[in-house]
Amino acid sequence: MNVLSQIINGLHIGSIYALVALGYSMVYGIIKLINFAHGEIIMVGAYAVYVMLVLVGTPLWIAVLVSLLFCACMGMLIERVAYRRLRNKNAPRISLLITAIGVSIFLQNLAQTIFSSSGKSFPNVMPQGSIRLGDAEISALTLITLATAAVLMIGLQLLVSKTKMGKAMRAVSEDAGAAKLMGINTNVTITWTFAIGSALASIAALLYSSAYPLVTPYMGSTLGLKAFIAAVLGGIGSVPGAMLGGFLLGIAETLAKGYISSVVADAIVFGILILVLLIRPAGLLGRNVKEKV
């Protein structure tokens, strides 16, 4: 495989990382919580598509829509049931973090109870075929993944920068107390953030499962961890940062697998993360916020 193909493969997996990383980053930006249950939303989304396509037998678009809505509701439900009370009682951040890990374990075990721990094979629903670009061959799935990710990211960027919800989100993330005093219902804004992040994860789940067609109760943890790293790499809390981090991580990982060794690929990727953070502790696009004393 030549370099171009490797980079295209890197962009493919990277755009999936980026979609998931956005969820981590948005939630962190708004309530300073690393939502470890976010990875499990991917798993939930993948099972939702599986159930609709294989068990119920609906067409793809209905399955995608159901999965999207189910994940969005799941994200909002998690926020409502597990986090909101802690937030309103001003619980220390570590309590929220532990709760998030708890939710993550709960969802994994729930999936295991319902679907058993053996993996389900994900049906092949994406168009086949490929096009040539110079020396590289790009599969239809890669094209679809890249296009979908691009559209979603542009949509999100528009939402955050140009609409009232986006402005409310930025205001809450900067100063929730002042936002309330300007008439913003912060709980609704936070709920929206979870819904949007989870909806993006459900699309990532579909794209990921189409490339690696095995759905298991634990699929969310590795993918979630990588996406979290992408978010940190790009600067957690920053929307463009999450996108950049996702693409960089994907490309670094594919190049390491292709040219060095697939065994140590992860080690190399994590090494890059450590290096970047040593030089830029807030991530590539993150800002170092100095506390005033």
Partner 1 sequence: MAKLLETENLGIAFGGLRALSDVTLEIGRGEIVGLIGPNGAGKTTVFNLLTDVYMPTEGTITLEGKSIVGKKTYQITRAGIARTFQNIRLFKDISVIDNVKIAMEGDMHYSALAGILRLPSYWREEKAADLRARELLRVVDLEDFADAKAKNLPYGQQRKLEIARALATQPKVLLLDEPAAGMNPTETQELAEMIEKIRKKFDVAILLIEHDMSFVMEICEKLYVLDYGMVIAQGKPEDVRKDPKVIAAYLGGNEDE
- Which residues bind to partner 1, rule: CB under 8 A? 155, 158-159, 162-168, 170-171, 174-175, 177-186, 192
In the bound complex, what is the minimum distance in angstroms from residue 178's beta carbon to partner 1? 4
N-term to C-term CA, the chain:
55
In the bound complex, what is the minimum distance in angstroms from residue 67's beta carbon to partner 1? 18
| 18 alpha-carbon distance from chain centroid | 6
Q: Compare residues 142 and 238 and give the one whose CB is closer to partner 1.
A: 238
Rounded CA-CA distance 116/235 in Å is 37
CA neighbor of 173 nearest in space, from 21, 11, 70, 33: 33
Q: Compare residues 98 and 158 and give the one whose CB is closer to partner 1.
A: 158
CA neighbor of 236 nearest in space, from 35, 12, 15, 11: 35
Burial, 253: exposed, middle or buried (Cβ in 10 Å; 0-12, 13-18, 19+)? buried
In the bound complex, what is the minimum distance in angstroms from residue 132's beta carbon to partner 1? 34
Q: Compare residues 46 and 169 and give the one whose CB is closer to partner 1.
A: 169
In the bound complex, what is the minimum distance in angstroms from residue 168's beta carbon to partner 1? 5
Q: Compare residues 51 and 152 and give the one whose CB is closer to partner 1.
A: 152
In the bound complex, what is the minimum distance in angstroms from residue 246's beta carbon to partner 1? 21
Q: Compare residues 155 and 281 and give the one whose CB is closer to partner 1.
A: 155
Segments in the chain forming alpha helices (H): 3-31, 38-50, 60-78, 84-88, 93-115, 140-162, 164-174, 176-181, 186-211, 219-234, 239-259, 265-279
